[in-house]
Amino acid sequence: MPTISQKGLTSNNLKLIAIIAMTIDHLTCVIFPNYPTNPLILLLHIIGRLTAPIMWFFVAEGYYYTHDLKKYLQRLFLFSIVSHFAYNFAFGIPFVPFQTTVFNQTSVLWPLAWGLVALAISQSTDPRLKQWVKTLLIIAICALTFCSDWSSIATMAIMYIGNHRGNFKKQMQSMLLLVAMYATVYFFFINKVYGILQMFVALSIPLLKQYNGRQGDWKGMKWFFYAYYPLHLFVCGIIRILLYGNVGVMIGG
């Protein structure tokens, strides 16, 4: 468990970094579509790799801090449904899944919500949930989230980060191993350069290490993030249409 300290970065600080990095990444996707390899564009996407690990980390942290897991899950699933339409509109992906491919059919909030479920299952002490039942349920969750942004890797990352809470080294090792699997699939099936680029999630590790266990003074960050995520994607979708018309700009579209 992180040591509470006045120094370092609060969860609000880290979430703000994630929001800025995410915005840069998504705007770059719609303004410069179809995986260009210009060094400056790659740099902007590298900045974007900061976002996902911060999101995974704080969903796992939220599991331990929430007073009502059911409401937390309801909130995540609600926003995953709203964000499905915002995400697909942003990048020109059909709202009905699997018309084009199995990749990027919905937003990262879908595996974030299911990652919280997987963490709760793995941590459950209910005697009816034998280990083999837990394993089967988690495999089923991975299948459900495979088609989303960051795929089932996001789900597994949340579960492992949560299960290794208190051991930052193991949390980050697990995350990097999972992302390496994702990067390998990306390399062979989507784009080689952007497959390698996924490994720049490692840049988030020094930032997460600075987490001081405090939320920060502003209590509205979680609601701001939930509202900002679909809203900024909606703006991205408008920019995409103004620049290129109603065409897809990334895998899935």
pLDDT tens for 45-96 read 999 999 999 999 999 999 999 999 999 999 999 999 999 999 999 999 999 9
> Do the beta carbons of residue 147 and residue 113 sit within 8 Å?
no
pLDDT in tens, 176-228: 999 999 999 999 999 999 999 999 999 999 999 999 999 998 988 988 988 99
Chain centroid to CA 110 = 9
**Other CB atoms within 10 Å distance of the CB of residue 76:** 20
| DSSP one-letter string for 165-193 | TT-HHHHHHHHHHHHHHHHHHHHHHT-HH
> Do the beta carbons of residue 59 and residue 158 sit within 8 Å?
yes
Q: Where are the domains of the chain?
A: 11-244
Q: In angstroms, what is the C-alpha Rg of the chain?
A: 18
Residues 8, 123, 126: CA angle, nearest 5 degrees: 150
